[in-house]
Chain A
């Protein structure tokens, strides 16, 4: 059971928009910045969004992030078949067992 909750799967057609939610608590998302990762099949994860809504160099502006309270959202517009991947949210958890926590992952299918 992951500390952060994501939907197991989402799907959309090319060109459409999709959002992926990530729900946590005050000990993690509520008081810490959120990052998002894309993992293409058979590869290591890749940073997509950091500090809730910032994109690293090279990440297209089709990807966006937001945070409100104890939840965060990843948005992808203009979907492409190459976006088909697993997406994970992550943040720091400041509870007694301090450490990084991830969501369970969301499989994006581009139909």
Chain B
């Protein structure tokens, strides 16, 4: 069965950096795109970034130039390098697998909490 397990969250000071990881299993990793979606405490879902099956990358305007998405297909692992962190980046970060349809996400990880605070 599909599993997505995030790690790397924690508390970081404003301006600091953090790298999130997402270990994937149960599907052919290189055949699917993977998203990062975040949810600030008590707020709705916010899409952050997407790496398509062919390696093309997309970013939300709010993180462009600060966050970098990457993947290691030999390790079935997705990464999100987050630099110049701000208080408004505080959220639970989910990695989520692109579905077989158009524009859908069919599996989500359990999320990892990132807190940006001094």
- List chain A positions with a Cβ less than 8 A from chain B: 2, 32-35, 37, 39, 44-47, 50-51, 54, 56, 86, 88, 90-92, 97-105
Contact = CB atoms under 8 A, between A and B. Distances in A.
A50 B99 contact: yes
B44 A90 contact: no
Nearest to A3: B47
Contact of B101 (A2, A50, A99, A102): A50
Given A44-B94, A44-B110, A44-B111, A100 B47 contact: yes
A53 to B, nearest CB: 11
B46 interface: yes
Contacts of A45: 37, 45, 94, 96, 105, 108
A50 B106 contact: yes
Contacts of A50: 99, 101-104, 106
A102 B44 contact: yes
Contact of A90 (B59, B105, B109, B111): B105
Contact of A99 (B45, B59, B96): B59
Given A45-B45, A90-B103, 19 more contacts: A32-B103, A33-B104, A35-B99, A35-B101, A35-B104, A39-B45, A44-B108, A44-B110, A44-B111, A45-B94, A47-B99, A47-B105, A51-B104, A56-B106, A88-B45, A90-B104, A98-B58, A100-B105, A102-B46
19 contacts: A32-B102, A32-B103, A33-B101, A35-B99, A35-B101, A35-B104, A44-B94, A44-B108, A45-B37, A45-B45, A45-B96, A46-B108, A50-B102, A51-B101, A56-B106, A90-B47, A91-B103, A92-B102, A102-B44
Contact of B58 (A32, A54, A99, A103): A99
Nearest to B44: A105
Contact of A47 (B47, B61, B104, B110): B104
A58 to B, nearest CB: 11
Contacts of B102: 32-33, 50-51, 92
Contact of B103 (A2, A92, A104, A105): A92
